[in-house]
Amino acid sequence: MVERYSREIMAKKWDMQAKYDAWLKVELAAVKAWNKLGLINDTDCEKILKNAKFDIARIDEIEKTTKHDVIAFLTSVSESLGEESRFVHYAMTSSDCIDTAVALQIKESLDLILEDVSLLLEVIKKRALEHKNTLMVGRSHGIHGEPITFGLVLAIWYDEILHAKELLEHAREVISYGKISGAMGNFAHAPLEFEEEVCKNLDLKPAPVSNQVIQRDRYAQVISAIAILASSCEQIAVAIRHFQRTEVYEAEEYFSAGQKGSSAMPHKRNPVLSENITGLCRVLRSFVTPALENVALWHERDISHSSVERFILPDAFVTADFMLMRLTNLIDKLLVYPENMMKNLNLTGGLVFSQRVLLELPFKGISREEAYKIVQRNAMKVWADLQNGKAAINEKNESLFLLALLADEDLRKSLSEEDIRRCFDYNYYTKNVDAIFARTFK
């Protein structure tokens, strides 16, 4: 975990205290289960539940000798108890404790991530409603296409993050399983009822079948869901970076008083938050490959997954949490410039209306091929005029494309001036925005 990109609320869920707290929670749930099944008497059970504790410094000291963190942990716990300590970890293997505890940590961390995502969705929705009818140009391949609204852009962001949330919710279900099936998963030394009772105490479900470990496809689904969320967040961050480019300048990150953009160029206002989010998303996606490679373990289990998970699980959750809160604040404070959006929309002299004109001609008996030829011919003329320095819009607020079409004798045989001018209507492109919003923001 990098402190610069961490929030304490998530980092604490993955520190050593949280790790051993989760281990102890599993061990105490096992003691309760054995008590209910009659193996441990009430007195010993109460003593363990009341007095069991651990000391991190002592665990570290013991592990120097044992070279085994679970044994070091259990030794430390035993030192806090009397003879009743003999029932701690009874008929369990290390992974019974570890994997079940990690499921608790992941589940709790996903709950926080889901809270973060819900807040992000609220902010995106708020800004979408604010800019539902704010006109701008839609771009494909980076080139101007047709009029859209900034609200529709935000609606896309909302819907994509909502998909990611659904995947995270599914991942939470997948990971909410424990295993107390013993060293080989065959329940040789403890009944299935023991596992069921332990998992019930921890609000987990027992894995239908396991070997020495919980199968790592569950972990891979969690990391993959986080990576997909990251990609959707990067999609937003990249869009904001494009909006802030000087020659576009349709939106920009909030620039606070006293903030500096460059050590060399005092004028700079850079999209540093969006760029930071882009980088963090790359890191989050990088965890998918090791998570997938952890699925293929030898036989009933090897330990090759352990070192990987000590890195990727804390880092994935801490980074995702930080990234989500940064993105939420960024969108909430995003500066939007409708005037520049309108200026850019007019930049190509009305070419954004070309399809509307194209679709009028077939109703006048013109084939699609001929219609396309007529419209494209005029569009290419406008491109040339723009490159030669002609104004996109004249003093009468008439675009180059409109004037070119009105002057085209072949086109005028089919379309009247009124027909042509009717095609240059921004409202035509926003008439379904309300319906789209109703379908998106249910």
- List, by residue number, the catalytic residues: 141, 262
| Of residues 185, 24, 19, the one with CA closest to residue 102 | 19
82, with CB counted inside 10 A (0-12, 13-18, 19+), is exposed
413 Cβ partners below 8 Å, 6+ apart?
none
Query: Is residue 352 a contact partner of residue 40, using CB atoms and an 8 Å limit?
Result: no
d(CA 58, CA 362): 83
d(CA 89, CA 419): 83
E strand or H helix that includes residue 76: helix 69-79
d(CA 385, CA 403): 12
Q: CB 263: neighbour CB atoms within 10 A? A: 7
d(CA 212, CA 95): 6
438 Cβ partners below 8 Å, 6+ apart?
none
E strand or H helix that includes residue 112: helix 94-130
Query: Is residue 104 a contact partner of residue 25, using CB atoms and an 8 Å limit?
Result: yes
| Of residues 227, 181, 173, the one with CA closest to residue 208 | 181
